[in-house]
Amino acid sequence: MASDVPPPELLEEILSRLPVKSLLQFRSTSKSLKSIIDSHHFINLHLKNSLSRSLIIQHKFDLYQLQIDDHDDFSKSMMIPLNHPFTTKITPVTRNRTRTMALIGSCNGLLAISHGQLAFNHPNNPNEITIWNPSTRKHRMIPFLPLPIPDIMESDNINRCCLCVHGFGFDPLTGDYKLLRISWLASPHNSFYDSHVRLFSSITNSWKIIPSMPYSLIYAQFMGVFVENSLHWIMTKKLGGLHPSLIVAFNLTLEIFNVVPLPDVHNSNESFEIDVDVLGGCLCMTYYETTKVDVWVMKEYGSRDSWCKLFTMVKSCYDLPLKSLRPLGYSSDGKKVLLRVDAEKLFWYDLKSAQVSYVEGIPDFHGVMFCVGSLVPPSFPVDNSKKKENRTSKSMRRDDFLSRGFKLRL
């Protein structure tokens, strides 16, 4: 009876809390459910209400999904092999040291993955990138962009090579998923050359040139960390000397680089390093000293005063290589933090007791990141009615951004 059918708003709310697998099954049962589930409005509502999260684990050229239950108990979860877009392209011939696969980033249930060279000596060396939703199995390939370098093998200095890193994120103002590429020439005789920055837009399906940044990346193989519509790396004004490490952000809306203010860290003249991650949706900084590691969280993005020291691990108290420690995420109840160490082991850190417990049953891995279950397609539709409003408000967003007190570096 018609009276037994819930109102459309209530039906959408109920459906939005279901896992993607169930929704894909319901989608094929009726035209009305298909219309609801495929709508832009419902995709956003489901993303907002999604209760499903999993770990995506990379082991060499293979990807696995490890579902996380409400009790954060990995022992009851199975590592499910994923048939990723590059699976058919990876053969015994390509599984060699000159080719690699990397997890670039995770955003709104989409993964950016690369498959190509570790170091490049020709503009057209293979380097494929795809944006993929592991829940729906849909993907799109990013148009190939040659590297802005000469054919190094035909130059006078064949020891040079080109390195590049990427960052993947979402611009909420335009509804655009963007991919940033930073590339540069490296040589043992001339440390680093000027970088070349390129930005890909999923709306235009094209790359554009971004003015070069006045910084150098400290960690050549690290991908950008996405927080608050910006991608973050650890950089310095130039390599060598006594220049301090900085957290440098690229704002995907304004398409400019800026320096994120660091917390007041009272260092006792010990040697130290910093890393940047995302933890619970907040920018996270790991501060490594000789004898300990501090993990800081920026509660209000852009505000220096909002930095809060979450916890400290003293080297003498733990049988762990703390130099390689990186935070991944909170437990469901927020009382523990999942950490990776040596880029191949996982363990929980209890924020109250300061005790650690290893996650058993996971083989050594080369990459790991959280991913939410979503229906977001790799080619997300844009509401045309908002385009005019977005163009008008972009200058307002710039003024609001500048008022935060960031130190800009154009």
Residues 26 and 10: their CA atoms lie apart, in Å, by 16
Does 409 map to a domain? no
**pLDDT at position 380:** 55
**pLDDT at position 269:** 56
The mean pLDDT values, 10 residues at a time, for the chain of 410 residues are: 72 93 92 93 94 87 82 73 81 58 93 84 82 95 85 65 90 95 75 78 94 81 90 82 83 96 75 88 92 94 96 86 87 91 84 90 84 89 41 46 38
Dihedral over alpha carbons 224, 285, 133, 125 (to 10 degrees): 20
**pLDDT at position 406:** 39
Tokens matching residue 107: 């955003």
For residues 286 and 325, the answer to whether their CB atoms sit within 8 Å is yes
For residues 174 and 253, the answer to whether their CB atoms sit within 8 Å is yes
**pLDDT at position 394:** 46
| DSSP-assigned beta bridge partners for residue 55 | 66, 370
Overall number of domains in the chain:
1
For residues 241 and 285, the answer to whether their CB atoms sit within 8 Å is no
DSSP 36-82: HHHSHHHHHHHHHH---EEEEEEETTEEEEEE--TT--GGG--EEEE
DSSP 112-131: EEEEEESSBSSTT--EEEEE
Does 215 map to a domain? yes
Residue with tokens 């190094």: 152
Does 358 map to a domain? yes
Residues 197 and 212: their CA atoms lie apart, in Å, by 6
Does 196 map to a domain? yes
**pLDDT at position 1:** 45
Does 391 map to a domain? no
> The domain that contains 214 carries what CATH number?
2.120.10.80
| CA 343, chain centre distance (Å) | 16
Does 1 map to a domain? no
Does 26 map to a domain? no
Does 359 map to a domain? yes
Size of the chain in residues: 410
Residue 108 is given by DSSP the state: T
**pLDDT at position 273:** 87
Number of helices and strands (H, E) in the chain? Answer: 5, 26
Question: E strands along 321-376, which residues?
Answer: 326-330, 336-341, 345-350, 356-358, 367-372
Domain extent at residue 187: 52-90+98-149+159-372
pTM: 0.86
